[in-house]
Copies of this chain bind each other. A is one copy, B any other.
């Protein structure tokens, strides 16, 4: 199969499965940030979060929530990082949520990237207007 995660979903490819139900599948990332780093995917091929149909949103993220607890407790961690790369930095074009166990002083930072500031309050208001307008002009 062309899609590596469709191949896992079809059991045509090896993976360390940690969770499965009718709609989703959880398995170990084979290049983990830490041991226990898990991916949850919809079985059906959807590329990015905006492609996920309405009926999969609730079940998929309820399973992300459940996996966050399972990964945290199984690995004796105190926190969990949940992340989805959509299009940019997305290594496999099949939607996947990363669930990563976190511990204080584990060497990662929640944001690892330089955070900036808006040049002015006016600029922040302009940006907010742009997003609000996009948000309002389309149905959810």
Where the two chains meet, the residues of A that have a C-beta atom closer than 8 Å to any C-beta of B are: 16-19, 26-28, 30-36, 38, 48-50, 52, 54, 57-58, 60-75, 77-91, 102-104, 106, 108-118, 123-125, 127-128, 130-135, 138, 140
Q: Which residues of B contact A83 (CB under 8 A)?
A: 81-84
Give the nearest-CB partner of A63 in chain B. B140
Main secondary structure of the interface of A (DSSP, over half): mixed
User: B87 touching A78 by the CB < 8 A rule?
Assistant: yes
Cβ-closest 8 pairs across A and B: A89-B110, A79-B88, A58-B58, A79-B87, A16-B128, A88-B102, A70-B134, A70-B135
In the bound complex, do residue B31 and residue A116 qualify as a contact, i.e. CB atoms below 8 Å apart?
yes
